[in-house]
Amino acid sequence: MTLVDIVALIPYLVLQFKGLGIIVEIAGYGAISSKVAIWTGDIVVAAYVMVSGVHGSAWTSVAKDILIVVVVVFLGLYLPSHYYGGLGSIFQAIEQAKPGFTVLPPHGESLW
């Protein structure tokens, strides 16, 4: 089981660190290279896993995902309410700007 876990975890970590390097390099306008960001992230993750274990990292991901859902739901309700007076009003504004934009085609695509 440990070997399967390691084999599955390595590509995931490579993908995450590569993404971190790209994001930091672009967000920093090249002031921080992707290699520095990847090595810094690697050291931080290794230290965190050594202190809390893989379960600690998993619970951090769970907490992060819950916070993301809370923020998305809040903004999804707040922004239409603040700028358009509600969800119905925003769809009316969309329909006025682009008639038929919110209607699904009769065949080929569906809600599911």
Q: Which of the two residues, 82 and 106, has the higher pLDDT score? A: 82
CA distance 57 to 52: 7
Question: Each residue of 7-43: b (16+ CB within 10 Å) or e?
Answer: eeeeeeeeeebeebbeebbeeeeeeeebeebbeebee
Domain spans of the chain, in order of start: 2-97
Does pLDDT of 83 surpass 70?
Answer: yes
Question: The pTM is what?
Answer: 0.53
111 backbone dihedrals φ, ψ, rounded to 5°: -65, -30
pLDDT for position 75: 94
Does pLDDT of 111 surpass 70?
Answer: no
